[in-house]
Structure 1
Amino acid sequence: METFDAIYGRRSIKHFHPDHELTDEEINKLMEAAIQSPTSFNIQHWRFVLVRDKETRQQLKAAAFNQAQVADASLLIVLTADLEAHGKEPDRYWRNSPPEVAEKLVKMLFGLYDKKPQLQRDEAMRSMGIAAQTIMIAAKDMGYDTGALVGYDPDKVAEVINLPDDHILGMMIVVGKAKQGAWGKPGQLSLEDVIVHDKFPGKP
């Protein structure tokens, strides 16, 4: 599938065929695409929780206000991020770079993010958002449908997946075969509504 076809064809699906399963090879292909997503300083702090166990799915469905797709989709991905990744063996993020470059960037990375919780959170949310879009477009290219969910009880989800204290939750993504298509797009804004050229108008 062409990239633009995948972008325009991707829709948020609510109803999936519960008996369809993705193969291990398909899941690996999808996640290999996901980790090509860019991150600041190549920190790669996303952590993808792949939930296939049916009992765990039911627990997460309950935590997501009983949205059927959480249990019915072929794969449930809970996007999380390690807020302290900047200090956990940061040399590995630049191991293939010239040593002097790696040393410089690792020092910059730690200096930028250490003890700055708001920046850590902001960067984590940016990175998870980029990875989520990569997953959804890649899945569409593979012939699968997806949906992104933020409607859930974060405390309950964190408990179910044993989220570490230094991690943060992002969105959930469901992947599978649509049982029912999405509605038509409810109201796409025009480019004139969303594009600002050069700068916002000055205050009156």
Structure 2
Amino acid sequence: MSQNYEELLEVMHARKSVRKFDPHYTINKEEITSMLEEAISAPSSSNLQPWRFLVIQDRELKKKINRFSFNQEQIETASAIIAVIGDTEMYHNIDEIYLSNLAAGNIDEEHVQIQIQNAKAAYPNAPLEVRRNIATFDAGLVSMQLMLIAKARGYDTVPMGGFDKQQFAASFELESRYEPLVLIALGKAASPAYGSTRLPIDSITTYM
């Protein structure tokens, strides 16, 4: 096995869901931005990247979130809470994304126009529930990538779905197209995370 593979395994197994963070530890905006820039290399449906991020570091805002998030300790003690928000109208970005791909030399004019036409025929006409499912799936991909990147940089995380999404959207005055999907607490662990086990692979895998 290559050294890269060994290093990847080390990060994967080291990442645990931490719930006790050092409340005095801060991570600057520049480093958080750098981690997000790396995380968005994650794949997404038709490359429409239906993720948006709201980075919350203000102490009072974290307290506000916690009032409708079951008073989870990590929300107030983490260096930042990163809200991963799904764009259910991701089709508004079709031209910008695909023409950028053309400008980068990743595709030719003929094929980019086919991609644009196909995407514009499919996504605006898809039911909201379908687009919501796409955004949710893609948010999971970028969230996992962000948590691994954070661990590789020496930070700790925990993903949280246990919060009132309607209250969150109202509190931050999100447009109706944007739906909060997951909160990621980011910081330095104040105590180790609990270990956890997994089901045996034979019990969850079938080869055909």
After TM superposition, the score normalised by the length of structure 2 is: 0.90
Runs of 4+ in 1 over 4 A off after TM superposition: none
* 2:19 pairs with 1:14: yes
SS in 2 for 1:179: coil
Partner of 1:102: 112
* 1:25 CA displacement: 2.5
Q: How does 1:26-37 map to 2 (within 5 A)?
A: 26-37=31-42
Q: Does structure 1 conserve the Cα–Cα contact (< 8 Å) formed by 2:165 and 2:179?
A: no
Q: Does structure 1 conserve the Cα–Cα contact (< 8 Å) formed by 2:82 and 2:184?
A: yes
* 1:118 CA displacement: 2.0
SS in 1 for 2:31: helix
Cα deviation code 1:43-98 (max 9, x no counterpart): 01100111111111111111111101111101110111111111x14111112322
Q: Does structure 1 conserve the Cα–Cα contact (< 8 Å) formed by 2:150 and 2:156?
A: yes
* 1:130 CA displacement: 0.1
Unpaired runs of 5+ residues, structure 1, are 199-204
Q: Does structure 2 conserve the Cα–Cα contact (< 8 Å) formed by 1:113 and 1:119?
A: no
Partner of 2:151: 140
CA distance in 2, matches of 1:18, 1:170: 24
- The alignment-based identity, stated in percent, is 28
Q: 2:45 aligns with which of 37, 40, 44?
A: 40
Q: How does 1:166-181 map to 2 (within 5 A)?
A: 166-181=177-192
More moved, 98-107 vs 12-21: 98-107
CA distance in 2, matches of 1:122, 1:196: 25
SS in 1 for 2:10: helix
* 1:189 CA displacement: 0.6
CA distance in 2, matches of 1:2, 1:117: 40
User: Which letter does structure 1 place at the counterpart of 2:20?
Assistant: H
* 2:124 pairs with 1:114: yes
CA distance in 1, matches of 2:93, 2:166: 29
State the aligned residue count.
196
* 1:161 CA displacement: 2.0
Q: Does structure 1 conserve the Cα–Cα contact (< 8 Å) formed by 2:16 and 2:195?
A: no
Q: Does structure 2 conserve the Cα–Cα contact (< 8 Å) formed by 1:51 and 1:77?
A: yes
Partner of 1:153: 164
CA distance in 1, matches of 2:112, 2:96: 9
User: Which letter does structure 2 place at the counterpart of 1:117?
Assistant: L
